[in-house]
Structure 1
Amino acid sequence: MLVSEHDYQRTLEYSFSALGMLKRAKIPPYPHFYELCYTYASGINEQLNERLNMLLGKDNALSMENVLQVYREFFDNPSDLESQLTNVSQEMSYKIDAVNRAMDEAIDTAEGYSGSLEGAANKLNTKLDEAALQKLAAKLLAETKQMQEANQNLEEKLKVSKQDISSLKRDLDTARRETMLDALTKIPNRKSFDQRLKQEFEAYEQHGKQFSLLMMDIDHFKAFNDNYGHQTGDQVLRLVAMTLKSNIKGRDHAARYGGEEFAAILPDTDIRGARQIADKIRKAVHAKELLKRSTNQKLGRITISIGAAQVHRDESIHELIERADECLYTAKREGRNRVVCETDEVFRNSKVA
């Protein structure tokens, strides 16, 4: 490819500028650091330049911390959500520090200007000739102009920082929400379930707000994986999750509990209401016929077993989960594709046995 003399000279200047930035900061010109500085010198990424300008010191030189921070943000793009949370939190901290530095500089400038005004006032209390007055006026005018420029600079920095912090806050909120979702099924995960169950339990202990718990397990799930492969197994999990989500309403909270097991927290719901919701979910799942996407082959219907329990006074979260689990296991033993509640005779008999 032929390169014009103009393009050659321009890219050469970018290269010298990038190397100069690294040299002044005594940062080794590793390829990833050079890439960052070259991108900055070329100005092709306006957002990167704005971010880096906010982090540059008074001597307009980089620090290793700044280089690593900006490189991770614009070039590394971690997929791990915990890493994203860490990076966004760090960015938020850096932004707040930048605002604090800008405020400190403005305070220093204001204090200097205040001192100049006080000095001028003292001089005006003495007899000054016309030349001295003109000199004093010129000095105050220059310092007033400097103060105005400092205020304008502060306003611009605060405006940029406000926009960046708002953007970072949105990123942080998004990342936090995603850490509470199961990656495969896109419904709340075990962490989200544990937090919500704790909240409902505390509300019950403090205010007597009743709730019930459903524990659900896909019947013969291992057979789907063994016979049709893990991709089909994943399809089954997604289908059940979608059906579960579409059949609970309001403040009800469905989650993937682990493996092929799901759970649902039902606020303001007693055991009778829990049975009705559980049977609605069971029937909705059974109504779905699984198809192999590649061939449209019918693979049969999915069924789930469900155990339902209502919170009791003076019990722990673990005891509630354990009771709902025991109801689930009873449903499995009784033939699967059914709902068993803690009030059912078949469950009470199993406890006696």
Structure 2
Amino acid sequence: MPRNYELVYEALNASNASLSREFDLLGRAPGQDQLDALGKKHFPHHHRANVVEGAHTKISSELAGMLRLLKQEQSSLESYSKLLGETYHRISAKSASSTDILTNVVGMLSNATGDTMEKGKVVVEHMVERAREMEQVKLELDEYKRIANTDPLTRLANRRAFDEMLSRIYDDSRGAIYHSLIVADIDHFKKFNDTFGHPVGDRVLGVVAAVMKSTLRKDVFISRTGGEEFAVVLHDTSLDVTTEIAERIRRAVKATPLKNQKTGVDYGPVTLSLGICMASDAESAEELYNKADVALYAAKNSGRNCFQVYRPELNQEFEKNWMLYKS
């Protein structure tokens, strides 16, 4: 089935070790329910339409219920208003003795007012209940969005959330002058997988993510954009501040030991290469990312474990050797 294509491809390609292990545990003939459960965990964006459609149906139903209640309340109030009008005319006509009129009027209005207030109370209770139902749907949608925009391995924002954040930079009414992008790539990451296995590779990703989160303020946007690459989006910043942050990240990761606490095996140092580009040096989100990537290449080409700031002269070197860089 089409929704299984990416799941099977990524599992067999072993680009996601956790996914590959869980896929293998399903056996040779997994059921569609099992595949869907795995797909929802690792590729929540594929299930977005169903989630949103379900929320849309629920909210539409609750709104329709509210509309019916309001129409009923309107009808009840119209009837009450009509009764008040008729009573007024009866009093004005003076066709009966004052005592009879007042006795009848008091009884009618007392009953009508009591009924109207009771119906109004019920309507309010129903409206409040439906409002609570819609609030619950909103909370579920918010939770879905959080999951859909979160990388399951590192618990950082994923590429989807990163693309959305980057595009918003150029929607800012102040322009892009106050924003910057740092892209970071783990040096020789393939070595960890090949030498120690994918579980160690996953741990390296987790350690780098944790160090970045602990090094930066909580309001700084950090994302795992794919594979061993991370990104940091900074707002209200300058080039000097951005380079200071990049260097702080680099030093913190390098200073973090990576050992197996049970066996004592030292997996070796983990280092990052980082590329920086100011948003004012690009015309779009795509161009900003590409230029930061060029700077990242320059850092790799300079010996790794360092950062570079984008400069136009770096483009020629990148275009000449990008195949070597990507390998």
| Cα distance in structure 2, aligned partners of 1:272 and 1:343 | 15
Whether 2:152 is the aligned partner of 1:148: answer no
Q: How many residues align?
A: 274
The one-letter amino acid of 2:90's match is K
User: Which moves more between the two structures, 238-247 or 221-230?
Assistant: 221-230
Q: In structure 2, do the counterparts of structure 1 residues 349 and 158 end up closer, same or farther at CA, with 3 Å as the change threshold?
A: closer
Given that residues 176 and 279 in structure 2 are in contact (C-alpha distance below 8 angstroms), is that contact kept between their aligned partners in structure 1? no
Matching of residues 228-267 of structure 1 within 5 Å: 228-249=196-217, 252-267=220-235
Matching of residues 120-159 of structure 1 within 5 Å: 120-124=87-91, 125-128=93-96, 138-159=107-128
SS at match of 1:255: strand
Corresponding residue of 2:259:
291
Corresponding residue of 2:142:
173
Corresponding residue of 2:60:
93
Question: Paired residue for 2:194, among 226, 229, 239?
Answer: 226
The one-letter amino acid of 1:120's match is T
Question: Paired residue for 1:212, among 180, 194, 207?
Answer: 180
Corresponding residue of 1:193:
162
SS at match of 2:267: strand
Q: In structure 2, do the counterparts of structure 1 residues 92 and 231 end up closer, same or farther at CA, with 3 Å as the change threshold?
A: farther
SS at match of 1:217: strand
* Structure 1: runs of 5+ lacking an equivalent: 1-77
| Cα distance in structure 2, aligned partners of 1:209 and 1:177 | 28
Question: Paired residue for 2:283, among 315, 329, 334?
Answer: 315
Given that residues 294 and 315 in structure 2 are in contact (C-alpha distance below 8 angstroms), is that contact kept between their aligned partners in structure 1? no
User: Which moves more between the two structures, 206-215 or 322-331?
Assistant: 206-215
Cα drift, residue 153 of structure 1? 0.9
Question: Paired residue for 1:277, among 245, 260, 273?
Answer: 245
| Cα distance in structure 2, aligned partners of 1:243 and 1:225 | 20
**Higher relative CO (CA 8 A, sep ≥ 6), structure 1 or 2?**
2
Query: What RMSD over aligned residues (CA atoms) do the two structures have, in Å?
Result: 3.2
SS at match of 1:329: helix
| Cα distance in structure 1, aligned partners of 2:80 and 2:154 | 61
Corresponding residue of 2:84:
117
Identity of aligned residues (%): 30
The one-letter amino acid of 1:184's match is L
Question: Paired residue for 2:296, among 321, 328, 345?
Answer: 328
User: Which moves more between the two structures, 234-243 or 113-122?
Assistant: 113-122
Corresponding residue of 1:341:
309
The one-letter amino acid of 1:273's match is V
TM-score by length of 2: 0.71
Question: Paired residue for 1:104, among 71, 80, 84?
Answer: 71
Given that residues 232 and 292 in structure 1 are in contact (C-alpha distance below 8 angstroms), is that contact kept between their aligned partners in structure 2? no
SS at match of 1:263: strand
1:43-76 deviations in Å (ceiling 9; x for gaps):
xxxxxxxxxxxxxxxxxxxxxxxxxxxxxxxxxx
Question: Paired residue for 1:303, among 255, 268, 271?
Answer: 271
Given that residues 234 and 242 in structure 2 are in contact (C-alpha distance below 8 angstroms), is that contact kept between their aligned partners in structure 1? yes
User: Which moves more between the two structures, 228-237 or 88-97?
Assistant: 88-97
Cα drift, residue 351 of structure 1? 5.8
Cα drift, residue 184 of structure 1? 1.8
Q: In structure 2, do the counterparts of structure 1 residues 218 and 351 end up closer, same or farther at CA, with 3 Å as the change threshold?
A: closer
TM-score by length of 1: 0.66
1:220-244 deviations in Å (ceiling 9; x for gaps):
2223223333322222111111112
Given that residues 85 and 176 in structure 1 are in contact (C-alpha distance below 8 angstroms), is that contact kept between their aligned partners in structure 2? no
Q: In structure 2, do the counterparts of structure 1 residues 210 and 138 end up closer, same or farther at CA, with 3 Å as the change threshold?
A: closer
Given that residues 176 and 280 in structure 2 are in contact (C-alpha distance below 8 angstroms), is that contact kept between their aligned partners in structure 1? no
| Cα distance in structure 2, aligned partners of 1:344 and 1:239 | 33
* Structure 2: runs of 5+ lacking an equivalent: 1-39, 321-327
User: Which moves more between the two structures, 241-250 or 97-106?
Assistant: 241-250
